[in-house]
Chains A and B, each alone.
Chain A
């Protein structure tokens, strides 16, 4: 342990302290080109993202592809280096009292592509045990076998197989076992079930729920599938072009999507109920280029309610009058914004 003898896997702040707090996280990727390969522009992948995750909670992150969900995930475990912002884990800021290596023990990640995340030349057992070995835990192989057993893979049959000998669902269980073998407190699931068949997806989701209860885990669950996110999350965070536009408890957002973007995102969701047909038209066109995002509210180019103020001023996140826990970044809800319908919300 680097800075102090602090062990991140042990709760230090008590239940009231968020497990993870992210403040003003920013990541721009340079776009190089031209004669000398200078930086010509920057992709604003993640811009000023802030949120907190309580202990034991599951935070779902949704948004279109390219909105910065996966970059956020990679920033959280330091796979991508942040340009600015704070990552505070259980009261300890990364880079101050908390080293990257310690953070990586407490925060683990499960990726979307179950095959690509496993070394093709390594047996399942070796892959699962690798992290524990790196962290210097006792008996990494024993631990790995235990974890494989826990995620529903008989270690006697699967330990010495190679990734290509497993099905997609089995491989994703391996990835979960590998993450859990590090005894993390926070697991970031980046589209972890998206590539699986529907029936397998349900099993893996159930497994994740069980594991959360059993190990007292906290999840950040990233997905483009709203139904899946609803099923597993306590709160939902909506991202658009690298920014947070809405963050709310699952029931509240399901009842009423405050942000026009969230509303169109939800309306694009297929409904099983023929009486509950989509009323709002779905989003037109592609999201704007994140290299040169629109000024003001980034959604104004596609928003039906956009006015001049939306082009000029960036809205900030604020709680709704009816429910302070339901936060939205939209001028429609800010009575002082200067929007013609300020303070009224989306017209019915």
Chain B
């Protein structure tokens, strides 16, 4: 070690394999080597793509019912996954259902990631009074179990897509803020932040150049770990009847309306839940994979 330090050695030392893209290429490479995570990524991508491109997949009309073809079992000709209580094609409704379910299930986390992340970084970097205000407010929201808070706000606001988005975003801002604050105040105490401040850079520049890059991955990984809960909650709101309104296809709502069929065609009525389960499982595994690929510790 000591020898390699002489000026001669500095000049003669062969350049170590430099990683020009640095961190993110390493993350990508580690993800590619993780088969389980790649499978989950594939499943989630497939679900999203089929939902987005549903109208072009040659499916039956998800809104068109038939009084005579109600609750046909799985495997019926023409209705591979059967029909629902109004005779609508289950396959079409499940795939179309992905549109609203995934949209309402994922958007709140994205919004909360930006809002909560910004609040947490500001609280963690600025500290003092600003920190106290933000974090004490967050503490109050932590007094509500997430399910209760989501149902309380949605229940008060009433059913509807926008109301669901609002209530779920409010539910997920506090936890993300808390994590962002903790990570940021940790980074804030590091010497390179002092070194950056010593150049005369203002707080915004220091945050933009030196803080964001170093707090982003833990906050991001944490946010991805919330997507599965958010999916379950979003579908849960519709299941309770305070989310998406009928006749829109949405997995939680479908699960609710098909409850009347559990004595007639039980396994059919469980299908929408299978979709929620698969999605939420894949999101959880994906988040775990990301966590280890990004070397984020809890």
Q: Does B11 reach chain A (CB closer than 8 Å)?
A: yes
Q: Are B191 and A113 in contact (CB under 8 A)?
A: yes
Residue of chain A at shortest CB distance from B19? A162
Residues of A within 8 A of B7 (CB): 152, 203
Known: A121-B22, A167-B4. A130 touches B201 (CB 8 A): yes
| Interface hits, A153-173 → B, CB 8 Å | 153-154, 157, 160-162, 165, 167-170
8 contacts between A and B (CB under 8 A): A109-B198, A111-B191, A119-B213, A134-B205, A160-B20, A161-B18, A165-B16, A196-B5
Which residues of the other chain, B, contact A102 by a CB distance below 8 angstroms? 200
**Contacts A154-B11, A162-B19, A170-B10; is A117 near B200 (CB within 8 Å)?**
no
A199–B214 CB distance below 8 A: no
**B190 contact from A101, A116, A157, A169, Cβ within 8 A:** A116
Could you say which residues of chain A place their CB within 8 Å of the CB of B190? 116
Q: Do residues A197 and B18 form an inter-chain contact, with CB atoms below 8 A?
A: no
A185 in contact (CB, < 8 A): no
Q: CB within 8 A of A135: which of B5, B194, B200?
A: B200
Q: What is the distance, in angstroms, from A82's C-beta to the closest C-beta of chain B? A: 15
Contact with B214, one of A120, A131, A165, A178 (Cβ below 8 angstroms): A120
**Residues A134 and B22 in contact in the complex (CB < 8 Å), given A111-B191, A116-B192, A197-B1:** no
Residue A150 CB within 8 A of the other chain: no
Tell me, yes or no, whether B209 is within 8 Å of chain A by CB: yes
Asked, given contacts A119-B210, A152-B10, A160-B18, whether A200 binds B2 with beta carbons under 8 Å apart, the answer is yes
Which of A79, A154, A160, A162 contacts B197 (CB under 8 A)?
A: A79
Chain B residues whose C-beta falls within 8 Å of the C-beta of A168 in the assembled complex = 5
Q: Interface digits, B1-37 against A, CB 8 Å rule (1 contact, 0 not)? A: 1101111001100011011101100000000000000
- A108 touching B191 by the CB < 8 A rule? no
Most chain A CB within 10 A, of B10, B23, B192, B213, is at B192
Whether B200 contacts A134 by the Cβ 8 Å rule is yes
Cβ-defined contact, B1 with A111, below 8 A: no
Interface check B274, CB cutoff 8 A: no
Which residues on B sit within 8 Å (CB–CB) of A113?
A: 191
* Nearest CB on B from A181, distance (A): 9
Smallest Cβ-Cβ distance to A200: which chain B residue: B5
Interchain CB contact under 8 A, A117 and B192: yes
Q: Which of B4, B5, B200, B205 contacts A100 (CB 8 A)?
A: B200
Q: How many residues of A contact B (CB 8 A)?
A: 45
The 10 closest A-B pairs by CB, nearest first: A131-B199, A104-B200, A116-B191, A200-B5, A101-B200, A134-B201, A117-B191, A121-B213, A169-B5, A197-B2
- Measured CB to CB, the nearest residue on chain B to A135 is B200
Closest to A131 in B: B199
Contact with B2, one of A117, A178, A199 (Cβ below 8 angstroms): A199
The distance in angstroms between the C-alpha atoms of A108 and B195, with both chains bound, is: 9
With A and B bound together, what is the CA distance between A182 and B195 in angstroms? Answer: 12
User: With A121-B214, A152-B7, A165-B16 in contact, do A74 and B200 touch (Cβ < 8 Å)?
Assistant: no
Chain A residues in 8 Å Cβ range of B4: 167
A117 close to B19 (CB less than 8 A) = no
Nearest CB in chain A to that of B196: its residue: A130
Q: Which of A79, A117, A165 contacts B18 (CB 8 A)?
A: A165
Asked if A105 is at the interface of the complex by the 8 Å CB criterion, the answer is yes
Please determine whether A153 and B10 come into contact, CB atoms closer than 8 angstroms: yes
With both beta carbons as reference points, the residue of chain B lying nearest to A110 in the complex is identified as: B195
State whether A178 touches B5 (Cβ < 8 A). no
Closest residue of chain B to A163 (Cβ to Cβ) is B192
**With a CB–CB cut-off of 8 A, which chain A residues contact B209?**
119, 122, 130
> Which residues of B212-263 are within 8 A (CB) of A?
213-214
A118 interfacial by beta-carbon distance below 8 Å: yes
Q: Please name all residues of chain A whose beta carbon is closer than 8 Å to the beta carbon of B18 when the two chains form the complex.
A: 160-161, 165
A171 CB, nearest partner CB in chain B, Å: 11
- Nearest-CB residue, chain A, relative to B17: A165
Using a CB-CB cutoff of 8 Å, which residues 112-140 of chain A contact chain B?
113, 116-123, 130-131, 134-135
The distance in angstroms between the C-alpha atoms of A123 and B210, with both chains bound, is 12
In the bound complex, what is the Cα–Cα distance between A81 and B275 (angstroms)? 57
CB distance from B235 to the nearest CB of A (A): 37
Q: Report yes or no: A157 in contact with B200, Cβ–Cβ below 8 A.
A: no
**Residue A239 interfacial (CB < 8 Å):** no
B18 to chain A: closest residue by CB: A161
Interface residues in B272-293 (C-beta closer than 8 Å to A)? none
- Check: A77 CB closer than 8 A to any chain B CB: yes
Given contacts A165-B16, A170-B10, contact A135 B195 (CB under 8 A): no
Across-interface contacts of A135 in B (CB, < 8 A): 199-200
Q: Which of A108, A116, A178 has the most CB of B within 10 A?
A: A116
